[in-house]
DNA sequence: ATGCGCCGAGACAACGTTGTCAGAAGTAGA
DNA sequence: TCTACTTCTGACAACGTTGTCTCGGCGCAT
């Protein structure tokens, strides 16, 4: 079953095979394949016939090896989870920019695993990706550090990078979290819980910082009992909220610092039938948030702009820009929909 | 700024550079890098020092070129849109299987564009992907046909392929659509609309066929006015439902044949405040469907099993399985949640 | 002491392709 | 007719790596 070739050795046909069938030199085939033009029409036709007969396909790897430039037309993208809508939207935006540069995207999910992060970076660099866009884990996972000291350009996105200086694209996490918290305070809340990921995740730290600064600014003393960390999944968020609301002096409002946590909070409030009594503002928008009851007020990030900005920055670097690293701050936006405007009672 | 190297020519360091710095032959470096063992400890240490000094990284492309096998440890995945939750979940499942085989995923969104489909297949084959998993457009886009006559193994998923015989992983589209329709009929409906994508999309055709067969089976004459095709986006679905329900003798129930259309229907019903009067069953589950009001009854597909099955089949082919093409039917499941159990009135 | 086998290390060719150069054939001008 | 030029084609080396082969040196049994 291997090979639709008519003659010749097994395995994928090469330019040599095409040359033999067409009765020309290997170099002439190369010229036809690359459209170099300086081949007479009849010869080119012979070559094209042979290519069609053999179903020949150029080996892009061998080609870039021989060419000096070493551009593989491939970039690597490393995110936490390709199935999370935030990262999926970011991915799509990166792909759209890459396409304008005739470049394809190698992508991997890192999860919460520092070793995987290092492995992926190494695999992508080894495959000579032209550049890398990375949603990094925190600096506690030091494995990236070892991998990135290469000429391969890198852009960090969503979370600050470490180890090397590189362009970085971030949401205005502190400001956004402060805005969420101020919004709840404006609506009369003082017992506001903050539920988020492990503090090693930089975005979780920054959003908690924004929450705390807004409380301080309003003269509200933070209650450690209302700050829940280490919530990494929707299920964990459900449990965390159920427990919080079971306390004696429960919060009257929730600030959740990422989309998976927000949907967990929605589920928990439903389970307790308190969705109309406990206010909720989530960081990061998510599909159908506006159709829930009550509709969920969020601090919307802009994953599309983030992905596009990161990809554009990466291609500037790939094309030789050697200026100092830039930080891009992508603004967040409060979208009041109902859940964040409930007043305490 | 190029190169963190201490000496040597510009550009990424090669084994030759490492050999020079370590004072050994090139082949010895190769042996160390590949852990071939037959290198004495002191020499290996020298080599590793040189590797660290130069920040050397293996060129995986050159390596696979020289090795006979030509395995690049890369597979290509082509879906309609990486940001759609169905394809994102499928993607994640493929990635998880690929990882077990030390393989990385090149992915691209085809959209509704046949040329893009051909381009992507060509680009992935040219980059010597070990195999391809494809969510194909219909046979009207013939561009795949030209590209796939290669030794590169292919698995089709979600939609039947064409042009070449290959393993195919499909949801039980006809049966699922019939089940959705029967469910609505059981609940007393006879004026059931079917709203779906363009008929060139095979899944759209199959689901409409299931809808029609269930109607026939129940002795309900299909009303062409209730069959809307060519709905490709959520916005288009909103418009389509608004128009349908504006008619004289409107449907009492809606069957929507994909997730984007279902959410559009939800929005339209809300806009008309008829979400509690018009029944709705959607093909394909989506996040938060259970939290809407009323919760949305769906025919759930299983994108994770589909992706896993496709990837496993692909790796069997990559590893030499040359048996006849297999069709995998992944069952769908009716999840009654409320919207599909509303009765006509 | 001699022969045998084994181990560590290097020289060389080759993977599939393209850059460089040289040569053949054709054209135009003197 | 000869020269100078242009156009087309091919031979060859090289990209970075690894498979194959060879060779030197060591230990061990005779």
pTM reported for the whole predicted model:
0.92
Q: Give the best residue of B4, B119, B127 to mutate against chain A (max A CB count within 10 A).
A: B127
Q: How many CB atoms lie within 10 A of CB B27?
A: 12
pLDDT in tens, A294-304: 999 999 999 99
Query: Over the range A288-318, which residues count as b (16 or more CB within 10 Å of their CB) and which as e?
Result: bbbbbebbbbbbbbbbbbbbbbbbbbbbbbb
Q: Which residues touch strand D (CB under 7 A)?
A: A 24-28, 31, 38-40, 42-43, 62, 65-66; B 11-12, 14-16, 26-27, 30, 33-34, 57-59, 62-63, 65-68
Which one-letter DSSP state was computed for residue B289?
A: G
- Tens digits of residue pLDDT in B68-115: 888 999 999 999 999 999 999 999 999 999 999 999 999 999 998 888
Chain A CB contacts of B124 below 8 Å: 104
Burial class from Cβ neighbours inside 10 Å (0-12, 13-18, 19+) for residue A48 reads middle
Of B58, B122, B151, the CB nearest to A2: B151
Instruction: For residues A122 and A304, give the distance between their C-alpha atoms in angstroms, rounded to a whole number.
Output: 27
Q: What is the mean pLDDT of chain B?
A: 93
pLDDT at site B4: 38
DSSP A83: T
Residue–nucleotide distance: B64 CA to C15 C1' (Å):
8
User: Higher pLDDT residue, B193 or B44?
Assistant: B193
CB pairs under 8 A between A and B: 157
- φ and ψ at residue A192, rounded to 5 degrees: -115, 120
B76 near B117, Cβ under 8 Å?
no
Partner-chain residue, chosen from B81, B91, B106, that has the shortest CB–CB distance to A83: B91
Judge contact between A225 and A193, C-beta under 8 A.
Answer: no
Pairing of strands A333-335, B192-195: unpaired
Check residue B7 and give its pLDDT. 43
Question: Which of B88, B237, B308 has the most A C-beta neighbours within 10 Å, making it the best mutation to test the interface with A?
Answer: B88
- Residue B133 — very low, low, confident or very high, per pLDDT cuts 50/70/90? very high
Name the nearest CA neighbour of B104 among A102, A194, A217, A107.
A107
Please report the pLDDT score of residue B140 as a whole number.
66
Interface contact flag, B88 A82, Cβ < 8 Å: yes
Give, for all 345 residues of chain A, the pLDDT tens digit.
333 334 445 679 999 999 999 999 999 999 999 988 778 888 889 999 999 999 999 999 999 999 988 899 999 999 999 999 999 999 999 999 999 999 999 999 999 888 899 999 999 999 999 999 999 987 765 678 788 888 899 999 999 988 889 999 999 999 999 999 999 999 999 999 999 999 988 899 999 999 999 999 999 999 999 999 999 999 999 999 999 999 999 999 999 999 999 999 999 999 999 999 999 999 999 999 999 999 999 999 999 999 999 999 999 999 999 999 999 999 999 999 999 999 998
pLDDT exceeding 70 applies to what percent of chain B? 96
Residues B16-72: tens digit of each pLDDT? 999 999 999 999 999 999 988 778 888 889 999 999 999 999 999 999 999 988 899
Contact (CB<8Å) B287/A4 = no
Comparing every residue's Cα with the C1' atom of nucleotide D10, the nearest one is: A25
Q: How far is the CA of A26 from the C1' of D12 (A)?
A: 12
Query: How close B51 gets to chain A, by Cα (Å)?
Result: 12
pLDDT at B10: 63
Does the pLDDT of residue B253 top 80, yes or no?
yes
Could you tell me if A139 and A162 are in contact, meaning their C-beta atoms sit under 8 angstroms apart?
yes
The secondary structure of residue B296, as a DSSP letter, is P
Determine whether the interchain pair B95/A88 forms a contact, defined as Cβ–Cβ distance below 8 Å.
no
Q: Of A83, A120, A151, which has the smallest distance from its Cβ to B3's Cβ?
A: A151
Mutation to test the A interface, candidates B67, B73, B104, B272, most A Cβ within 10 Å = B104
User: Which residues lie across from B170 on neighbouring strands?
Assistant: B329
Determine the pLDDT at residue A112.
86
The answer to whether A204 and A258 have CB atoms below 8 angstroms apart is yes
- Binary contact (B60, A126; C-beta < 8 A): yes
Residue B333 CA to residue B344 CA, distance in Å, equals 24
B297's tokens:
């009854």
pLDDT at position A56 is 95
Distance from CA of B200 to the nearest CA of A (A): 24
Quickly state the pLDDT bin for B206 (edges 50, 70, 90).
very high
B299 pLDDT above the threshold of 80: yes
Cα–chain-centroid distance for residue A113? Answer: 15
Q: For residue B5, name the pLDDT band (cuts at 50, 70, 90).
A: very low
Tell whether the model's pLDDT for residue B2 goes beyond 50: no
Q: How far is A162 from A207, CA to CA, in rounded Å? A: 19
Among the partner residues A73, A104, A292, nearest to B288 by beta-carbon distance: A292
Which protein residues have Cβ within 7 A of any strand C atom?
A 11-12, 14-16, 26-27, 30, 33-34, 57-59, 62-63, 65-68; B 24-28, 37-40, 42-43, 62, 65-66
Who among A85, A149, A322 is closest to B4 (CB)? A149
Going across the sheet that includes B279-283, the strands are B227-228, B192-195, B253-256, B279-283, B297-300, B333-335
Residue A5 is predicted with a pLDDT of 36
What is the least distance, in Å, from the CA of B65 to any CA of chain A?
Answer: 7
Say yes or no for a CB contact (<8 Å) between A62 and B59. no
A-chain residue closest to B323, CA distance? A1
Residue B11: pLDDT band (50, 70, 90) is confident
Distances (CA, A) of A203 to A149, A187, A213, A257, A302: 24, 25, 15, 8, 15
Tell me the backbone φ, ψ of residue B76, rounded to 5 degrees: -105, 140
Provide the positions of strand D that have an atom within 7 A of a protein CB. 7-12, 14-20
Nucleotide nearest to A68 (CA to C1'): D15
Instruction: Note the pLDDT of residue B83.
Output: 95
- Cβ within 8 Å, pair B92-A81: yes
Distance from CA of A126 to the nearest CA of B (A): 5
Chain B residues with beta carbon closer than 8 angstroms to that of A73: 123, 127
Q: Determine what percent of chain B is predicted with pLDDT higher than 90.
A: 83
Kindly give the residue spans of alpha helices, DSSP state H, lying in chain B. 15-22, 26-33, 41-54, 60-66, 85-100, 114-126, 143-147, 173-186, 202-217, 234-246, 259-272, 303-318
pLDDT score, position B137: 86
Tokens at residue B56, please?
């050397």
Look at residue A141 in the predicted model and tell me its pLDDT.
58
Cα separation, B104 vs A320, in Å, equals 27
Between strands A192-195 and A167-171, the pairing is unpaired
């Amino acid at each position: 079953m291997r090979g639709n070739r008519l003659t010749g050795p097994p395995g994928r046909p090469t330019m040599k095979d095409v040359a033999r069938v067409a009765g020309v030199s290997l170099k002439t085939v190369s010229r036809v394949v690359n459209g170099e033009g300086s081949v007479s029409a009849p010869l080119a036709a012979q070559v094209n016939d042979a290519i069609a007969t053999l179903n020949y396909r150029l080996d892009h790897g061998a080609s870039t090896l021989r060419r000096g430039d070493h551009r593989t037309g491939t970039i690597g993208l490393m995110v936490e989870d390709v199935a999370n809508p935030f990262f999926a939207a970011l991915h799509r935006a990166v792909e759209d920019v890459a396409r304008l540069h005739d470049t394809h995207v190698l992508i991997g999910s890192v999860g919460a695993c520092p070793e995987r992060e290092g492995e992926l970076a190494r695999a992508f660099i080894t495959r000579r990706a032209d550049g890398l866009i990375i949603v990094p884990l925190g600096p506690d996972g030091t494995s990236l550090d070892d991998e990135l000291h290469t000429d391969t350009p890198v852009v960090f996105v969503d979370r600050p990078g470490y180890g090397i200086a590189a362009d970085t694209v971030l949401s205005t996490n502190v400001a956004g979290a402060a805005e969420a918290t101020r919004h709840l305070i404006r609506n009369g809340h003082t017992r506001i819980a903050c539920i988020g990921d492990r503090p090693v995740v930089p975005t979780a730290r920054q959003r908690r910082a924004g929450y705390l600064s807004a409380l301080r600014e309003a003269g509200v003393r933070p209650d450690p009992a209302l700050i829940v960390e280490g919530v990494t999944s929707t299920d964990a968020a459900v449990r965390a909220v159920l427990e919080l609301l079971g306390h004696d002096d429960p919060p009257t409002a929730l600030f959740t610092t990422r989309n998976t946590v927000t949907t967990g909070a929605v589920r928990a409030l439903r389970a307790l039938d308190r969705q109309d009594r406990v206010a909720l503002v989530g960081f990061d928008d998510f599909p159908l948030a506006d159709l829930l009851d009550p509709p969920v007020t969020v601090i919307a990030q802009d994953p599309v702009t983030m992905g596009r900005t990161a990809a554009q920055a990466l291609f500037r670097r790939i094309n030789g820009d050697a200026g100092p690293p830039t930080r891009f701050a992508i603004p967040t936006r409060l979208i009041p929909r109902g859940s964040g405007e409930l007043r305490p009672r």
